[in-house]
């Protein structure tokens, strides 16, 4: 039994909440995930997990072992990085994650420029509309939109983005332009789900936040599809400013209720707080931060 591998599988199961979710994240058969955890319990001669039909719970021994496993795997990764020379010169694989649209429009062009300057660094850009666990998925640097909740991360703020309510000129000509958030109740909306960073239908009035939603005319599971539907005149969407910057500039979409918009959301480059920073990460931070600030200057 590979104990390091079994520890990684156990941590994935705990963080995802079930063995089946861990198998999807690790891209392993459920039977393999279950067997690795069972082999680990057999080796330790103790039960680590309490399995129910829907989720798993840690035993007291399991909680202690998971905490120790996390520390051990972090130390192993740190030792491997140091042995590979990542602290003496900028080189090696650099794992970066960002939201899909933001990553494609803002991060990828910066990565392409970085490639030309650093031949010994190999960026690996993972775009996902979910908050990736940086420790378990071995991410060096992440773009996070919104206020940070993880105290184990170091953040460099590079700008902010606004939450925008908008619709096509054709829709607004046909249905009228909402003047107050309450007016949305009589309008058609386009909903999209599955994205933790998706902005809420929230507004400010005398510093108090309140929420009003239009009735859902269409529901989709991606930002791009929602924007396409709005361009077709189906209804009103709420998105982040960078997602529709080109459409707003071209007049294909029109922002509404701007006077009621909540405060902008911060955009940060974050990395784990784990001692000495590899030079490859420092090099990318120094390259990306000023360029992202320049690109985001018009988003607030």
* Tens-place pLDDT, residues 271-285: 887 666 788 888 999
**Given a cut of 90, is residue 82 above it in pLDDT?**
no
Percent of the chain exceeding pLDDT 90 equals 36
**By the 8 A CB rule, do 10 and 66 touch?**
yes
For the chain, which domains are there? 3-83 (1.10.10.10), 92-156+268-296 (3.40.190.10), 163-260 (3.40.190.10)
For residue 191, list its beta bridge partners: 219
**The predicted structure's pLDDT at residue 199:** 54
3-state secondary structure the chain: CCHHHHHHHHHHHHHHCCHHHHHHHHCCCHHHHHHHHHHHHHHHCCCCEEECCCCEEECHHHHHHHHHHHHHHHHHHHHHHHHCCCCCCCCEEEEEEECHHHHHHHHHHHHHHHHHHCCCEEEEEEECCCCCCCCCCCCCEEEEECCCCCCCEEEEEEEEECEEEEECHHHHHHHCCCCCHHHHHHCEEEEECCCCCCCCCEEEECCEEEECCCEEEEEECCHHHHHHHHHCCCCEEEEEHHHHHHHHHHCCCEEECHHHCCCCEEEEEEEECCCCCCHHHHHHHHHHHHHHHHHHCCCC
Candidates 76, 132, 95; CA nearest to 274 is: 76
User: Region 188-195: what's the mean pLDDT?
Assistant: 77
**The predicted structure's pLDDT at residue 130:** 81
Give whichever of 19-23, 67-71, 92-96, 165-169 has the largest mean pLDDT. Answer: 165-169
**Given a cut of 80, is residue 198 above it in pLDDT?**
no
**The predicted structure's pLDDT at residue 192:** 81
**Given a cut of 50, is residue 196 above it in pLDDT?**
no
92-124 confidence digits (pLDDT tens): 889 999 998 899 999 999 999 998 888 888 899
Phi-psi region of 90 (alpha: psi -120 to 50; beta: other; left: phi over 0): beta
Mean pLDDT, rounded, of the chain: 85
Give whichever of 46-60, 68-82, 245-259 has the largest mean pLDDT. Answer: 245-259
**The predicted structure's pLDDT at residue 159:** 93
**Given a cut of 70, is residue 89 above it in pLDDT?**
no
Higher pLDDT, 69 or 148: 69
How far, in Å, are 93, 108, 273 from residue 282 at the CA level? 13, 18, 13
**Given a cut of 50, is residue 195 above it in pLDDT?**
no
**Given a cut of 80, is residue 229 above it in pLDDT?**
yes
User: Region 206-232: what's the mean pLDDT?
Assistant: 84
Q: Per-residue confidence at 134, pLDDT binned at 50, 70, 90?
A: confident
**The predicted structure's pLDDT at residue 177:** 95
29-50 confidence digits (pLDDT tens): 988 988 988 988 888 888 988 8
**By the 8 A CB rule, do 10 and 40 touch?**
yes
């Amino acid at each position: 039994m590979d104990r390091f591998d079994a520890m990684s599988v156990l941590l994935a199961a705990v963080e995802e909440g079930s063995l089946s979710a861990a198998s999807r994240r690790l891209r392993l058969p459920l039977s393999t995930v279950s067997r690795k955890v069972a082999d680990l319990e057999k080796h330790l001669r103790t039960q680590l997990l309490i399995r129910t039909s829907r989720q798993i719970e840690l035993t007291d021994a399991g909680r202690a072992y998971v905490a120790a496993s996390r520390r051990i795997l972090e130390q192993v990764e740190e030792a491997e990085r140091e042995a590979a020379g990542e602290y003496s010169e900028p080189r090696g694989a650099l794992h970066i994650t960002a939201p899909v649209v933001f990553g494609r429009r803002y991060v990828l062009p910066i990565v392409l420029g970085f490639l030309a300057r650093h031949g010994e660094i190999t960026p690996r850009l993972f775009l996902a509309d979910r908050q990736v666990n940086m420790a378990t998925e071995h991410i060096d640097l992440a773009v996070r939109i919104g206020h940070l909740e993880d105290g184990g991360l170091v953040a460099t703020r590079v700008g902010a983005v606004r939450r925008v309510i908008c619709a096509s000129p054709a829709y607004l000509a046909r249905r009228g332009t909402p003047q107050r958030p309450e007016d949305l109740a009589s309008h058609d909306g386009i909903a999209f789900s599955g994205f933790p960073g998706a902005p809420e239908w929230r507004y400010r009035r005398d510093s108090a936040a309140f929420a009003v939603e239009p009735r859902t005319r269409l529901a989709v599971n991606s930002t791009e599809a929602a924007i396409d539907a709005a361009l077709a005149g189906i209804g009103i969407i709420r998105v982040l400013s960078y997602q529709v910057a080109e459409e707003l500039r071209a007049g294909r979409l029109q922002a509404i209720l701007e006077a009621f918009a909540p405060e902008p959301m911060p955009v940060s480059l974050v990395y784990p707080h784990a001692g000495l920073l590899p030079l490859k990460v420092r090099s990318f931070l120094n390259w990306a931060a000023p360029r992202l600030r320049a690109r985001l200057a018009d988003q607030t």
